[in-house]
């Protein structure tokens, strides 16, 4: 708006300036001429003033016009988690030296043996006599000699009760448990039934590897001595293969690692997480240990391979000869057995000729048909309380209403929606009259109206151009946000 006002004021100012510049000198000449006609004749100045004044005015006005029109510029808990311990350093004693009562005299292993040395002798017990049926039958292990009680308590019979299944004058049959237990850890108990079943006895028998000598059992075969229960099952290298420790068979409910390959040169243990440990003994006595543990991502495993030399003949200690660590696919034995590579897809053809006749496939087909039927009901509205077609019509109706709302705005053109603006400024008008003034007793009249009319027409044209330019700018102006 300021540009419009500026141009209007500039045009009005130009109008006044042009009128004053053109009309007054001309009128002054007209006024002066009758007064100084004679003098002008003398001075030969007639007609000189007008051309000079007009030429000067036009030059000045051209400069003004040029300015006016210039454009704008802007950890482990169960048997499955039991650790696997394999003692490969043959000089090292197996970690299960007996510590129970009566076995405190065990001493450390003497190389090259890795087994602890049992006591050279143990005390023999007295024969326990009992009277049948006067004694407390069924017999339990408390009736045994104290030393033998310890043996039974520590090794296999803790809390167990043994009974006489049958009894005759010559034969007494014990329950299977007692027979097996005692048979496993000692020689069969002696039992005498002389007489009319009135008395009996169980004689103390030395443990395996010991031989009775009156009241003492002396070691005769060290490798036959059985170590007492410690709850652990040891593995040793027996010849070329891995076996359970032959001197460690007395464990009651031992925690046995999930080991496969017993009796072969390779043993493999796996915990319940799928972690895998295997040990392989080569024919030259060297070992390869492979450990595969699942990574935290649950998708891959880390496989560590360690190779050991055969145990040194003097020290019994092997030497690490190599170590490798690699990433493998999957977790657990089957999945992690393959290296971290992707197998190419199979290009075989599957026979599907009998697939459609399978009962499961048929059942699936029936369900799909049912689903299709219900979807058809939903879409087409047949027999349904609430149908998609009904809702679709409602959506269409709502969308059409919204479209009409928007269209009404768009097609209204310059509809002002009742907004009007009728105020326009009042432009003063008047009719031109000649200028009249009295000077020195003489009335001077300057009739400038014809010139004012001419200039009015000229300035009116300039107004027209300014208005056209202003309207064009209004049309092309950037819309205010």
Q: Which of residues 367-406 bind another protein (CB under 8 A)?
A: 370-371, 374-375, 377-378, 384, 386-388, 390-392, 394-395, 397-399, 401-402, 405-406
* Smaller CB separation from another protein, 386 or 440: 386
Does 69 sit near another protein (CB under 8 A)? no
Does 361 sit near another protein (CB under 8 A)? no
CB of 26 to another protein, least distance (A): 16
Which value, to the nearest 10 degrees, does the dihedral of the CA atoms of residues 203, 209, 213, 214 take? -20
* Smaller CB separation from another protein, 417 or 442: 417
Does 414 sit near another protein (CB under 8 A)? yes
CB of 2 to another protein, least distance (A): 12
| Pair 309, 296: CB distance under 8 Å | no
On the CB side of 172, CA atoms within 13 Å amount to: 25
Site for another protein in 437-466 (CB under 8 A): 449, 452, 455-457, 459-460, 462-464, 466
| Pair 244, 225: CB distance under 8 Å | no
Nearest to 231 by CA among 247, 249, 246, 251: 251
Q: Which of 136, 412, 436, 450 binds another protein (CB under 8 A)?
A: 412
* Smaller CB separation from another protein, 442 or 478: 478
Q: Name the token pair of 481.
A: 């946000």
Q: What are phi and psi of 416, to 5 degrees?
A: -90, 5
On the CB side of 342, CA atoms within 13 Å amount to: 2
* Smaller CB separation from another protein, 8 or 137: 8
Site for another protein in 16-45 (CB under 8 A): 16, 19
Say how many C-beta atoms besides its own lie within 10 A of residue 97's C-beta: 18
Site for another protein in 96-115 (CB under 8 A): none
CA 466, 11, 429: angle at the middle one, nearest 5?
A: 105
* Smaller CB separation from another protein, 286 or 456: 456
CA 61, 63, 66: angle at the middle one, nearest 5?
A: 110
CB of 68 to another protein, least distance (A): 14
* Smaller CB separation from another protein, 231 or 460: 460
CB of 461 to another protein, least distance (A): 8
Question: Total residues contacting another protein (rule CB under 8 A)?
Answer: 71
Q: What share of the chain is helix, strand, coil (3-state, %, to 5)?
A: 35, 20, 45
* Smaller CB separation from another protein, 353 or 476: 476
CB of 83 to another protein, least distance (A): 52
Does 470 sit near another protein (CB under 8 A)? yes
CB of 73 to another protein, least distance (A): 21
The residues, ordered by sequence, that sit 6+ positions from 209 with a Cβ below 8 Å of its Cβ are: 118, 219, 220, 221, 222, 223, 224, 225, 226
* Smaller CB separation from another protein, 77 or 430: 430
How many angstroms separate the Cα of 323 from the Cα of each of 18, 89, 246, 430? 108, 18, 32, 115
CB of 62 to another protein, least distance (A): 20
Does 430 sit near another protein (CB under 8 A)? yes
CB of 70 to another protein, least distance (A): 20
Does 72 sit near another protein (CB under 8 A)? no
CB of 438 to another protein, least distance (A): 17
| Pair 280, 287: CB distance under 8 Å | yes
* Smaller CB separation from another protein, 309 or 456: 456
Does 480 sit near another protein (CB under 8 A)? yes
CB of 31 to another protein, least distance (A): 18
* Smaller CB separation from another protein, 196 or 419: 419
For residue 466, the SS3 value is helix
| Pair 453, 462: CB distance under 8 Å | no
* Smaller CB separation from another protein, 168 or 405: 405
**Per-residue burial over 25-43, b = 16 or more CB atoms within 10 Å of its CB, e = otherwise:** bbbeeeeeeeeeeeebeee
Nearest to 374 by CA among 363, 388, 360, 395: 388
CB of 290 to another protein, least distance (A): 53
For residue 394, the SS3 value is helix
């Amino acid at each position: 708006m300021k540009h419009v006002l500026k141009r209007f004021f500039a045009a009005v100012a130009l109008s006044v300036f042009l009128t004053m510049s053109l009309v007054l000198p001309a009128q002054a000449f007209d006024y002066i001429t009758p007064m100084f006609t004679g003098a002008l004749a003398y001075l030969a100045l007639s007609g000189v003033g007008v051309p000079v004044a007009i030429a000067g005015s036009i030059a000045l006005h051209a400069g003004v016009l040029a300015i006016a029109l210039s454009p704008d510029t802007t950890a482990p808990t169960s048997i499955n988690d039991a650790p696997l311990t394999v003692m490969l350093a043959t000089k090292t004693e197996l970690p299960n030296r007996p510590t129970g009562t009566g076995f405190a005299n065990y001493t450390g292993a003497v190389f090259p043996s890795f087994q602890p040395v049992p006591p050279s002798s143990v005390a023999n017990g007295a024969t326990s006599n009992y009277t049948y049926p006067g004694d407390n039958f069924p017999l339990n292990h408390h009736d045994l000699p104290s030393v033998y009680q310890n043996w039974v308590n520590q090794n296999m019979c803790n809390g167990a009760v043994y009974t006489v299944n049958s009894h005759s004058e010559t034969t007494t049959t014990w329950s299977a448990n007692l027979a097996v237990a005692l048979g496993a850890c000692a020689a069969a108990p002696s039992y005498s039934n002389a007489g009319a079943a009135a008395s009996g006895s169980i004689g103390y028998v030395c443990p395996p590897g010991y031989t009775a000598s009156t009241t003492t059992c002396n070691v005769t075969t060290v490798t036959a001595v059985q170590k007492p229960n410690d709850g652990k099952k040891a593995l040793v290298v027996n010849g070329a293969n891995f076996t359970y420790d032959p001197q460690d068979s007395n464990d009651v409910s031992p925690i046995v690692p999930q080991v496969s390959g017993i009796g072969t040169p390779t043993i493999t243990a796996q915990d319940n997480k799928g972690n895998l440990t295997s040990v392989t003994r080569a024919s030259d006595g060297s070992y390869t240990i492979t450990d595969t543990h699942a990574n935290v991502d649950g998708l891959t495993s880390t496989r560590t391979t360690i190779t050991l030399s055969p145990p040194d003949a003097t020290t019994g200690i092997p030497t690490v000869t190599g170590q490798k660590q690699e990433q493998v696919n999957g977790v657990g034995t089957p999945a992690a057995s393959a290296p971290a590579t992707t197998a190419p897809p199979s290009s075989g053809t599957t026979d599907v000729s009998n697939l459609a006749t399978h009962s499961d496939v048929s059942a699936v087909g029936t369900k799909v048909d049912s689903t299709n039927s219900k979807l058809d009901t939903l879409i087409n509205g047949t027999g349904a309380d609430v149908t998609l077609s009904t809702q679709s019509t409602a959506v269409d109706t709502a969308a059409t209403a919204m479209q009409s709302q928007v269209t009404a705005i768009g097609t209204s053109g310059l509809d002002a929606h009742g907004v009007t603006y009728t105020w326009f400024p009042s432009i003063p008008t008047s009719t031109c009259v000649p200028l009249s003034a009295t000077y020195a007793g003489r009335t001077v009249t300057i009739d400038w109206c014809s010139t004012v009319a001419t200039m009015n027409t000229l300035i009116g044209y300039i107004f027209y151009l300014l208005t056209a330019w202003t309207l064009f700018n209004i049309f092309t102006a950037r819309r205010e946000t």
